[in-house]
Amino acid sequence: MKKFNEFIWETHGIHAGTEQDHVKHGIDRLEDIVDKAIDANHPSITFIIHSPRLTSFRYIAERDTNVKFIRGNQSYLNYPKRIANLRKKYEGKINIKYGIELEWMGDDLGLQWSRSKIFQAEEADYVIGSVHFSPEGLPYDGSKEEAQELLKIRGSLEAYWDGYFNEMIQMIECFGDMIQIIGHIDLPKLNVEMPEALVNFETSSHPLANKFRTLLEIIADRNLSLDVNMAGKFKGVGVYPIQNILRRAYELQIPVCVGTDTHHVRYYGVNFKESLAYIHEAGYQNYVSYSKLIPEKRTIFDDHELKVKYTVLNKGIEMLNQRLHNKQRRIIPDFSFGGSFSEFLDIYKNSTGMGDYNAIRIRKSDKSITVTNETPQVSKDKVKGLFSEHLDKPGVISSLFNTLASEGINVETARLKSNNDGTAVAFLSLESDNGNVKNAIDFINGTDAGLFKNLTYKENAVLPNYYRKGVYLLEVDGVELKLALSQKVIITKHNNAPGVLLILLSALASKNVNIIDFRLGKLNKVGYSALAVEGNSNVINNLLTKLGEQYYEADLIEFHSR
């Protein structure tokens, strides 16, 4: 039996840093907790903040203070900024995530209110949808007295839970597009019993059991994930949710995330390992965490090799999702695995095999991404094309393409490699030799002599090794590219005609964006390019929107997962 990890990539993590609130809720200083995580050698830490509530939704303790505004707007509004500062302060030391726990307060004012709060937290990594309050204004996780009051209003234990699940379903209907995760799905057990019909919901014919089965199916169909929350264990009522629920979630292939929902620094790290053992008991071998709303897959096992493979998988998922619109991002993709990644075939139920092909392919709608961490072999075939040695700075490649385009020459494939000493080398294969290559070379040697050290057209040449170690983008939509990934990558799909690529290269050159690596591919009349670049993301995103109709797709991919 493999060992479980000591560390978890939390989602429902630590409620902390709301120092200015009238009623204290997670009061510790953020820095203290980050320091504690760093001392424990943890790669990441996750903060979470509640969205502010309407004053009609208050716990008794809050009513007693007679303060109108609870869990102040101010601390909520300032939170993204404080996290940004924290990320800056601890850069390189630890990865800091943060998310929002969105309150369900009914579909009237509560819904509009919550929608408005989401906009104020643009940089969040994820949003959990939670029901803490009944429409009657009474909390499910407040005092025993409040729970008893609600029980009296609703009349029976079954009606109590039925109301809670109705609110969950309504929340998903209304919030489905704003949240990624369903918070503590059996929260009411904190204060009231779970009726028999719910505990045995898998087989029970009680309407409550049916309601709950439906809720789980809705969660699966909406591609939401389930919060496995250790606060219940901490409070003595058992992990949210109970094993029966988790087992059904596993059967429905609902992803789970794990978290301690901790409110004090002294409890940081408590129950990390237990959470992994708990989901494993239900069948899970992995869970998800989130960066910028995109799910990352995590293994429950303390297995270095496996973690490396998950890193490759996550990079592929991030790339594919960033080629898609927000709405499509939440849809769980299809997977194919080959070679050393074949062990994922057991973990992902509906995945397909790719034999010895040592790669991961991730598909969604009409797009796919194929990645690997195996360095590609250098082909021994003889090639013909243009070899260049030049200065490694913005605009040089653009200038080369510019000259070739002016002679009517289309570049078929391109390889680039920085020597990391201010110089770079490139190889371009040309679509057809129209006899003008020599003119192009002469032109460049005449006008750009300072930029180019050597520019030669060779036939029967051996291709030098341009590959270095790293994670490789092998294919986009099945078209071979073999680009080594760096922090920022541009992927385009465009009309493969002379001059089209020049638009992109000129645009990048005009904004001083340097191209570190570059690959071209094509499928009939459609060209694909993948560029590893260095430059300001806002500037790049802005110019990518202006490339024109010849570009069917142009996306800047940035990697946040680790």
Q: In terms of CB distance, is 101 or 167 closer to Zn ion?
A: 101
Residue 334 tokens read as 């299809």
Q: In terms of CB distance, is 49 or 425 closer to Zn ion?
A: 49
Q: In terms of CB distance, is 5 or 130 closer to Zn ion?
A: 130
- Considering the complex, what minimum distance in angstroms separates the CB of residue 43 from Zn ion? 22
Enumerate residues 6+ apart whose C-beta is below 8 A from 156: none
Q: In terms of CB distance, is 127 or 319 closer to Zn ion?
A: 127
Enumerate residues 6+ apart whose C-beta is below 8 A from 379: 463
Other beta carbons within 10 Å of 407: 16
Q: In terms of CB distance, is 10 or 296 closer to Zn ion?
A: 10
Q: In terms of CB distance, is 229 or 514 closer to Zn ion?
A: 229
Distance from C-alpha of 76 to C-alpha of 111, rounded to nearest angstrom: 17
Residue 509 tokens read as 């050159």
Please tell me the count of residues contacting Zn ion according to CB under 5 A.
Answer: 3
- Considering the complex, what minimum distance in angstroms separates the CB of residue 230 from Zn ion? 11
Q: In terms of CB distance, is 183 or 195 closer to Zn ion?
A: 183
Q: In what order do the strands lie in the sheet with 514-523?
A: 514-523, 526-534, 488-495, 551-558
Is 167 near Zn ion (CB under 5 A)?
A: no
Three-state secondary structure call for residue 274 = helix
Is 261 near Zn ion (CB under 5 A)?
A: yes
Q: In terms of CB distance, is 24 or 93 closer to Zn ion?
A: 24
Q: In angstroms, what CA-CA distances link 323 with 159, 287, 549? A: 45, 23, 17
Other beta carbons within 10 Å of 515: 27
Binding-site member from 51, 130, 398, 410 for Zn ion (CB under 5 A)? 130
Q: Binding string, 503-542, against Zn ion, x = CB under 5 A?
A: ----------------------------------------
Q: What single-letter amino acid sits at 197?
A: A
Select from 128-136, 236-244, 361-369, 419-427 the region that touches Zn ion (CB under 5 A).
Answer: 128-136
Contact 312, 471 (CB under 8 A): yes
Select from 169-177, 239-247, 261-269, 300-308 the region that touches Zn ion (CB under 5 A).
Answer: 261-269
Residue corresponding to tokens 């036939």: 459
Q: In terms of CB distance, is 172 or 197 closer to Zn ion?
A: 172
Residue corresponding to tokens 């199916």: 217
Distance from C-alpha of 100 to C-alpha of 185, rounded to nearest angstrom: 17
Q: Binding string, 75-114, against Zn ion, x = CB under 5 A?
A: --------------------------x-------------
Contact 514, 529 (CB under 8 A): no
Select from 26-34, 253-261, 397-405, 540-548 the region that touches Zn ion (CB under 5 A).
Answer: 253-261
Select from 66-74, 122-130, 170-178, 427-435 the region that touches Zn ion (CB under 5 A).
Answer: 122-130
- Considering the complex, what minimum distance in angstroms separates the CB of residue 463 from Zn ion? 56
Could you give phi then psi for residue 62, rounded to 5 degrees? -75, -40
Select from 147-155, 259-267, 374-382, 447-455 the region that touches Zn ion (CB under 5 A).
Answer: 259-267
Is 260 near Zn ion (CB under 5 A)?
A: no
Exposure string (b/e) for 286-299, b if CB count within 10 Å is 16 or more? bbbbbbbbbbbbbb
- Considering the complex, what minimum distance in angstroms separates the CB of residue 261 from Zn ion? 4
Could you give phi then psi for residue 294, rounded to 5 degrees? -100, 130
Q: In terms of CB distance, is 141 or 475 closer to Zn ion?
A: 141
Q: Binding string, 401-440, against Zn ion, x = CB under 5 A?
A: ----------------------------------------
Q: In terms of CB distance, is 121 or 490 closer to Zn ion?
A: 121
CA distance between the termini of the chain: 26
Which segments of 200-303 does DSSP mark as H helices, in order? Answer: 207-221, 231-234, 243-251, 272-281
Residue 296: its H or E element: strand 294-299
Q: What single-letter amino acid sits at 89?
A: K
Select from 27-35, 123-131, 205-213, 426-434 the region that touches Zn ion (CB under 5 A).
Answer: 123-131
Other beta carbons within 10 Å of 61: 12
- Considering the complex, what minimum distance in angstroms separates the CB of residue 15 from Zn ion? 6
- Considering the complex, what minimum distance in angstroms separates the CB of residue 262 from Zn ion? 9
Q: Contact residues for Zn ion (CB under 5 A)?
A: 101, 130, 261
